[in-house]
Structure 1
Amino acid sequence: MATRRNLNRSLLLALGLAGALLAAPAFGQAYPTRAVRIIVPFAAGGPADIYARFIAQRLQEAMGQPFVVEDKPGAGSVIGTDVVAKAAPDGYTLLLMSNTHTVNETLVPGKPFALMRDFVGIAPINYSDLVLVANPALKASSIKDLLKLAKAQPGKLNYASSGVGTPYHMAGELFKSMAGVYLVHIPYRGSSGARTDVIGGQVDMMFDAVTTMVDQIKSGKVKAIATTGRQRSDVLPDVPTVNESGVPNYEATIWLGLMAPKGTPKAIVERLNEAVSRIASQPDVKQAWGRQGATPMVMNAAAFDKYLQDDIAKWAKVIKSANIKAE
């Protein structure tokens, strides 16, 4: 009788273990069972907000639950990002992030979170090239001309940006560092004023989004010197890259990705990574984004974490070398 009870107990334990093993992958498979929030720590209507809503819609279609975008801008992305850092690590609150976050790791040391300590990377989404444009009166129409002019007159040439620490500012500082030239940075509060003054000739040049400047380039209001990706932009295929024009290995793009609070189950991270990667790989998505100057990025979660670490290190070197301080 005791032997039979022991046998029954052992059988129940075995069945329980088997059930647990079968249920383990189902946890990730079942997710999500309710609405998921995607927090965008930038202003509504900008590229981050637009692509967040695109991804949210596609994820909703693929995963059968609402993916709701909430814009929480402020303090250079810190406010919205901190909301996600403090959220439960259950996959129901995600962060739409960009290279602003990897720059801020060094530029904003007093923020209440650390990217690689308090978050886990899910997947990248896409990247967009910038273009270096100049007022037509500037006596330089190529990177070679610009370097020659800048070295002959150090500190005389200047470039505008939408503010300290923005991707446009950091593109300029990376260029200065890698090209060995000195250009005076003139920060604005937003890109609109910077563009107006470059077109008007009050400032010599600026780095800006390709799609924003393409009409100004075609109309002759500014001239394109070079784009900032590793390969030429599909939107401006006749404009060479900085990399091919005399500053080898130069690359400065605006990229977007998704992260979750640290401790989010690996099965959920992998399920989201697979879904985002599948969306970014679809031909119609590639074509739609290509018309907007964006290129899909696809990598697994571990590779994305490595990409984040490398990007943090890249911008830390630039910030420390140029002694850049947050406003």
Structure 2
Amino acid sequence: MNALSRIRCAVRNTLLLTGATLAMAASPAWAQGFPTKPVRLLVSAPAGGTSDMVARMVAEGLAPLLGQPMVVENKPGGLGAIAMQDLLSSPHDGHTLIVAPNALVSEVPHTLKPKYDPFKDITPLAELARSGLVLVGNPSLPARNLIELMAHVKANPGKISYASYSAGTMSHVMGMQMNKVAGLEMSHVGYKGSPPALVDVMGGHVPLMFDGVATSLPMIRSGKLRAYAVSAPKRLSVLPEVPTFTELGFPQLEAIGWIGMFAASDVPAAAQQKLREATLKVLQQPQLRERLKELGQDAGQPLTSEQLAAGLRKDSERVGEVLRSVNYQPE
């Protein structure tokens, strides 16, 4: 290497080192200033659904901590694909996030071939709320408990259908699992969210549904829906009279789902950390935890992004096994 080449190499290395040093020094300052504009929370469900209610509660608590408005935007449809497209096409600077059930990563990709990689393109920032599902039915059904319901469905093979808040979600998979463990032949009807599905269940168009407790609870209490069982490991304080599937002899139907906040995976780490820390503070607020309890939800666990991602992979493998065991074909 001649003298000129050595000089050029030394200058290049100096510039690289200086650039890296400046970037490291700027990162904390940048994080302190983030966010610099309103933060969008995209909800992959219609207004009035469980994800929507949880997103609005958390947004209310985040705004004062982050010093910027939190704008909740409902983007239902496409099994979450519409919300995901918006998230991934927006600048990856932390000012656009998505609130969705864990199914967006662990379940939906098994029934729909998305254009995104759920384990590479997005990352979970925080678990916001968790709960089991409740099996509800139209009060006109002759069955008054789960055992009578299963007998009624078995006596009418292929004639009884169940709704889900979206194909490929826990609401859908639970019905397939119940078919398998109880020897039933219920058919599935998918909707774009809980509210429109519940309207049809109450109207008698579809007699049954596995739904989130938050959305079904008001109708259960008013007598517009009958609750048969919950998938949580123990009875819910808001529905103490409703048994669990496990205590009724069906532990295979015990399941918990959660609603999380996700970001594009390449959002700067400092922004991800600030959003996560602020969200965990909100989830510790007694008033928020009580409001979640009133909806039949528990506040999310304070897990790291890595722990959440590992759990999602495990759930994805479990759902894949269930779908294969029932020879599921995408609708």
TM-score normalised per structure 1: 0.80
**Equivalent in the alignment of 1:195:** 201
The unaligned stretches of length 5 or more in structure 2 are 1-16
Question: 1:264: Cα distance to partner?
Answer: 1.7
**Equivalent in the alignment of 2:267:** 264
| TM-superposition CA deviations, 1:230-273 (whole Å, max 9, x none) | 22112101222112321225334453111111212222222211
**Equivalent in the alignment of 1:185:** 187
3-state SS of paired residue (1:258)? strand
Question: 1:86: Cα distance to partner?
Answer: 3.0
Question: 1:21: Cα distance to partner?
Answer: 5.5
3-state SS of paired residue (2:251)? coil
Residue 173 in 1 paired to residue 179 in 2?
no
Whole-angstrom CA distance in 2 between matches of 1:211 and 1:20: 45
The unaligned stretches of length 5 or more in structure 1 are 1-13
On the 8 A contact 1:99/1:167 being kept in 2, the answer is no
3-state SS of paired residue (1:117)? coil
Whole-angstrom CA distance in 2 between matches of 1:46 and 1:223: 19
3-state SS of paired residue (2:318)? helix
Whole-angstrom CA distance in 2 between matches of 1:325 and 1:15: 56
**Equivalent in the alignment of 2:317:** 313
On the 8 A contact 2:44/2:99 being kept in 1, the answer is yes
Whole-angstrom CA distance in 1 between matches of 2:20 and 2:199: 65
RMSD (CA atoms)? 3.3
**Equivalent in the alignment of 1:301:** 305
Letter in 1 for 2:201: R
**Equivalent in the alignment of 1:5:** none
On the 8 A contact 1:41/1:77 being kept in 2, the answer is yes
On the 8 A contact 1:98/1:256 being kept in 2, the answer is yes
| TM-superposition CA deviations, 1:143-201 (whole Å, max 9, x none) | 455567767x5836734204533443222123334x25223124164313541355xxx
3-state SS of paired residue (1:235)? coil
Question: 1:229: Cα distance to partner?
Answer: 1.2
Distance 1:63 1:227, change over 3 A: same
Identity of aligned residues (%): 30
On the 8 A contact 2:161/2:188 being kept in 1, the answer is yes
The partner residue of 1:108 within 85, 109, 112 is 112
The partner residue of 1:82 within 59, 81, 85 is 85
**Equivalent in the alignment of 1:158:** 160
TM-score normalised per structure 2: 0.79
The partner residue of 2:242 within 220, 239, 244 is 239
Residue 289 in 1 paired to residue 292 in 2?
yes
Number of equivalenced pairs: 309
